[in-house]
Amino acid sequence: MDIPDARADQWLRLSPLFLALGITSLVDNAVLAWTPSVLVRGFGMAASQVGPLLGALLMIAGGAGMLAGGFFSNRVRLRGHRGGRISLAVFSAALTVPITLLVLTGSINIVLVGLTLYVFLSCVGAAVGTLTLLDLAPTRRHGLVTAVSFFLNVALGAGVGPVAVGFTADHLGLANGSVGQAICLIACPGFLLVTGLFYLALRNARQREARSSIAHIHAA
Protein backbone atom coordinates (compact mmCIF):
# COMPACT_ATOMS: atom_id res chain seq x y z
CA MET A 1 0.00 0.00 0.00
CA ASP A 2 1.31 3.45 -0.94
CA ILE A 3 2.09 6.01 1.75
CA PRO A 4 0.34 9.34 0.88
CA ASP A 5 3.47 11.42 1.53
CA ALA A 6 5.48 9.09 -0.71
CA ARG A 7 2.94 9.51 -3.52
CA ALA A 8 3.05 13.30 -3.16
CA ASP A 9 6.84 13.24 -3.27
CA GLN A 10 6.77 11.14 -6.44
CA TRP A 11 4.46 13.57 -8.24
CA LEU A 12 6.50 16.54 -7.06
CA ARG A 13 9.64 14.90 -8.42
CA LEU A 14 7.98 14.37 -11.80
CA SER A 15 6.43 17.84 -12.09
CA PRO A 16 9.43 19.54 -13.84
CA LEU A 17 9.35 16.84 -16.52
CA PHE A 18 5.58 17.08 -16.97
CA LEU A 19 5.86 20.84 -17.42
CA ALA A 20 8.89 20.62 -19.70
CA LEU A 21 7.14 18.17 -22.03
CA GLY A 22 3.91 20.18 -21.98
CA ILE A 23 5.69 23.44 -22.85
CA THR A 24 7.68 21.65 -25.55
CA SER A 25 4.38 20.58 -27.09
CA LEU A 26 3.04 24.14 -26.79
CA VAL A 27 6.02 25.56 -28.66
CA ASP A 28 6.01 22.77 -31.26
CA ASN A 29 2.38 23.42 -32.10
CA ALA A 30 2.99 27.17 -32.22
CA VAL A 31 5.95 26.82 -34.56
CA LEU A 32 4.45 24.20 -36.86
CA ALA A 33 1.02 25.84 -37.07
CA TRP A 34 2.46 29.18 -38.22
CA THR A 35 5.49 28.14 -40.29
CA PRO A 36 3.30 27.63 -43.40
CA SER A 37 2.23 31.26 -43.05
CA VAL A 38 5.88 32.35 -42.93
CA LEU A 39 6.68 30.36 -46.06
CA VAL A 40 3.63 31.59 -48.00
CA ARG A 41 3.57 35.25 -46.88
CA GLY A 42 7.27 35.82 -46.43
CA PHE A 43 8.70 33.85 -49.35
CA GLY A 44 5.80 33.49 -51.77
CA MET A 45 5.80 29.69 -51.68
CA ALA A 46 2.67 28.10 -53.12
CA ALA A 47 0.36 26.63 -50.51
CA SER A 48 0.26 23.36 -52.48
CA GLN A 49 4.03 23.02 -51.99
CA VAL A 50 4.10 23.79 -48.29
CA GLY A 51 2.10 20.75 -47.15
CA PRO A 52 4.20 18.03 -48.81
CA LEU A 53 7.44 19.82 -47.92
CA LEU A 54 6.63 20.20 -44.22
CA GLY A 55 5.15 16.71 -44.08
CA ALA A 56 8.36 15.17 -45.40
CA LEU A 57 10.45 17.37 -43.11
CA LEU A 58 8.46 16.36 -40.02
CA MET A 59 8.53 12.70 -40.92
CA ILE A 60 12.31 12.61 -41.45
CA ALA A 61 13.56 15.11 -38.86
CA GLY A 62 10.98 14.15 -36.22
CA GLY A 63 11.53 10.44 -36.65
CA ALA A 64 15.29 10.86 -36.58
CA GLY A 65 15.05 13.01 -33.44
CA MET A 66 12.98 10.42 -31.60
CA LEU A 67 15.34 7.61 -32.60
CA ALA A 68 18.43 9.64 -31.71
CA GLY A 69 16.94 10.68 -28.37
CA GLY A 70 16.21 7.09 -27.42
CA PHE A 71 19.53 5.72 -28.65
CA PHE A 72 21.86 8.32 -27.17
CA SER A 73 19.97 8.63 -23.89
CA ASN A 74 20.31 4.89 -23.38
CA ARG A 75 24.03 5.11 -24.13
CA VAL A 76 24.44 7.93 -21.59
CA ARG A 77 22.46 6.02 -18.97
CA LEU A 78 24.31 2.74 -19.48
CA ARG A 79 27.64 4.50 -19.15
CA GLY A 80 26.61 5.70 -15.72
CA HIS A 81 26.65 9.41 -16.52
CA ARG A 82 25.75 11.37 -13.42
CA GLY A 83 22.12 12.43 -13.60
CA GLY A 84 21.29 9.78 -16.18
CA ARG A 85 19.82 10.50 -19.56
CA ILE A 86 18.21 13.85 -18.64
CA SER A 87 21.48 15.74 -19.27
CA LEU A 88 20.92 15.10 -22.98
CA ALA A 89 17.51 16.80 -22.77
CA VAL A 90 19.08 19.88 -21.15
CA PHE A 91 21.59 20.15 -24.00
CA SER A 92 19.03 19.69 -26.79
CA ALA A 93 16.58 22.21 -25.27
CA ALA A 94 19.30 24.84 -24.80
CA LEU A 95 20.49 24.39 -28.40
CA THR A 96 16.93 24.74 -29.70
CA VAL A 97 16.74 28.40 -28.60
CA PRO A 98 19.33 29.86 -31.04
CA ILE A 99 18.21 27.45 -33.77
CA THR A 100 14.70 28.91 -33.59
CA LEU A 101 16.05 32.36 -34.46
CA LEU A 102 16.87 31.10 -37.96
CA VAL A 103 13.19 31.59 -38.83
CA LEU A 104 13.90 35.34 -38.87
CA THR A 105 16.45 35.14 -41.68
CA GLY A 106 15.66 36.36 -45.18
CA SER A 107 16.67 33.10 -46.87
CA ILE A 108 14.09 30.37 -47.34
CA ASN A 109 16.84 27.75 -47.38
CA ILE A 110 18.13 28.86 -43.97
CA VAL A 111 14.57 28.95 -42.60
CA LEU A 112 13.99 25.36 -43.75
CA VAL A 113 17.33 24.19 -42.36
CA GLY A 114 16.49 25.89 -39.06
CA LEU A 115 13.07 24.28 -38.98
CA THR A 116 14.58 20.85 -39.69
CA LEU A 117 17.08 21.25 -36.85
CA TYR A 118 14.37 22.61 -34.57
CA VAL A 119 12.13 19.58 -35.13
CA PHE A 120 15.06 17.18 -34.66
CA LEU A 121 16.21 18.76 -31.38
CA SER A 122 12.69 19.14 -30.02
CA CYS A 123 11.99 15.47 -30.65
CA VAL A 124 15.27 14.49 -28.98
CA GLY A 125 14.19 16.36 -25.86
CA ALA A 126 10.67 14.91 -25.98
CA ALA A 127 11.99 11.35 -26.28
CA VAL A 128 14.50 11.78 -23.46
CA GLY A 129 11.97 13.53 -21.20
CA THR A 130 9.39 10.79 -21.70
CA LEU A 131 11.91 8.03 -21.05
CA THR A 132 13.07 9.81 -17.89
CA LEU A 133 9.48 10.05 -16.69
CA LEU A 134 9.13 6.30 -17.03
CA ASP A 135 12.49 5.76 -15.31
CA LEU A 136 11.41 7.79 -12.28
CA ALA A 137 7.82 6.55 -11.99
CA PRO A 138 7.04 3.20 -10.37
CA THR A 139 6.16 0.56 -12.95
CA ARG A 140 2.59 0.29 -11.65
CA ARG A 141 2.08 4.01 -12.39
CA HIS A 142 3.43 4.08 -15.95
CA GLY A 143 -0.07 4.17 -17.45
CA LEU A 144 -1.20 7.08 -15.28
CA VAL A 145 2.05 9.02 -15.75
CA THR A 146 1.86 8.60 -19.53
CA ALA A 147 -1.80 9.69 -19.54
CA VAL A 148 -1.05 12.83 -17.49
CA SER A 149 1.88 13.69 -19.75
CA PHE A 150 -0.15 13.31 -22.93
CA PHE A 151 -3.04 15.28 -21.43
CA LEU A 152 -0.71 18.22 -20.75
CA ASN A 153 0.83 17.87 -24.21
CA VAL A 154 -2.57 18.13 -25.88
CA ALA A 155 -3.98 20.80 -23.54
CA LEU A 156 -0.95 23.08 -23.75
CA GLY A 157 0.11 22.12 -27.26
CA ALA A 158 -3.06 22.09 -29.33
CA GLY A 159 -5.00 24.32 -26.97
CA VAL A 160 -2.52 27.13 -26.32
CA GLY A 161 0.38 26.93 -28.78
CA PRO A 162 -1.15 28.12 -32.07
CA VAL A 163 -3.32 30.71 -30.28
CA ALA A 164 -0.28 32.19 -28.52
CA VAL A 165 1.41 33.19 -31.79
CA GLY A 166 -1.70 34.86 -33.20
CA PHE A 167 -2.36 36.63 -29.90
CA THR A 168 1.24 37.89 -29.79
CA ALA A 169 1.17 39.13 -33.38
CA ASP A 170 -2.14 40.96 -32.90
CA HIS A 171 -1.33 42.61 -29.58
CA LEU A 172 2.16 43.71 -30.59
CA GLY A 173 0.88 45.08 -33.90
CA LEU A 174 3.23 42.96 -36.00
CA ALA A 175 2.74 43.15 -39.75
CA ASN A 176 1.79 40.11 -41.82
CA GLY A 177 5.38 39.62 -42.86
CA SER A 178 6.51 39.48 -39.23
CA VAL A 179 4.85 36.24 -38.18
CA GLY A 180 8.36 34.89 -37.71
CA GLN A 181 8.90 37.45 -34.94
CA ALA A 182 5.78 36.29 -33.13
CA ILE A 183 6.94 32.67 -33.45
CA CYS A 184 10.30 33.51 -31.90
CA LEU A 185 8.67 35.52 -29.11
CA ILE A 186 6.82 32.36 -28.10
CA ALA A 187 9.41 29.71 -28.96
CA CYS A 188 12.61 31.21 -27.54
CA PRO A 189 11.30 32.01 -24.03
CA GLY A 190 9.42 28.72 -24.14
CA PHE A 191 12.55 26.66 -24.71
CA LEU A 192 14.52 28.71 -22.20
CA LEU A 193 11.89 27.65 -19.68
CA VAL A 194 12.07 24.04 -20.90
CA THR A 195 15.85 24.13 -20.48
CA GLY A 196 15.45 25.36 -16.92
CA LEU A 197 12.89 22.67 -16.10
CA PHE A 198 15.07 19.90 -17.55
CA TYR A 199 18.02 21.28 -15.59
CA LEU A 200 15.93 21.22 -12.42
CA ALA A 201 15.10 17.58 -13.10
CA LEU A 202 18.82 16.90 -13.70
CA ARG A 203 19.81 18.58 -10.45
CA ASN A 204 17.20 16.58 -8.55
CA ALA A 205 18.49 13.38 -10.12
CA ARG A 206 22.06 14.19 -9.12
CA GLN A 207 20.99 14.96 -5.57
CA ARG A 208 19.18 11.62 -5.35
CA GLU A 209 22.26 9.83 -6.66
CA ALA A 210 24.46 11.60 -4.10
CA ARG A 211 22.10 10.67 -1.24
CA SER A 212 21.96 7.09 -2.48
CA SER A 213 25.77 6.87 -2.61
CA ILE A 214 26.05 8.23 0.94
CA ALA A 215 23.45 5.73 2.14
CA HIS A 216 25.37 2.84 0.55
CA ILE A 217 28.60 4.00 2.17
CA HIS A 218 26.95 4.18 5.59
CA ALA A 219 25.33 0.79 5.08
CA ALA A 220 28.72 -0.73 4.23
Distance CA 177, CA 199 (A): 35
pLDDT given for residue 179 in this prediction: 86
pTM for the model stands at 0.88
pLDDT given for residue 164 in this prediction: 92
Does 87 reside within a domain? Answer: yes
Higher-scoring residue by pLDDT: 4, 39: 39
Where on the phi/psi map is residue 175: left (φ > 0), alpha (ψ -120 to 50), or beta?
beta
Q: Which residues contact 126 (CB under 8 A, 6 or more apart)?
A: 21, 24, 25, 65, 66, 69
51-80 pLDDT per residue, tens: 999 999 999 999 999 999 999 988 887 776
Does 12 reside within a domain? Answer: no
pLDDT band at 4 (very low <50, low <70, confident <90, very high): very low
Does 26 reside within a domain? Answer: yes
Does 32 reside within a domain? Answer: yes
| Count of domains for the chain | 1
Does 6 reside within a domain? Answer: no
pLDDT given for residue 47 in this prediction: 86
Give residue 96's domain range: 17-209
pLDDT > 60? residue 6: no
Give me the CATH number covering residue 201.
Answer: 1.20.1250.20
87-127 pLDDT per residue, tens: 899 999 999 999 999 988 889 999 999 999 999 999 999 99
Mapped onto helix, strand or coil, the DSSP state of residue 71 is helix
Does 217 reside within a domain? Answer: no
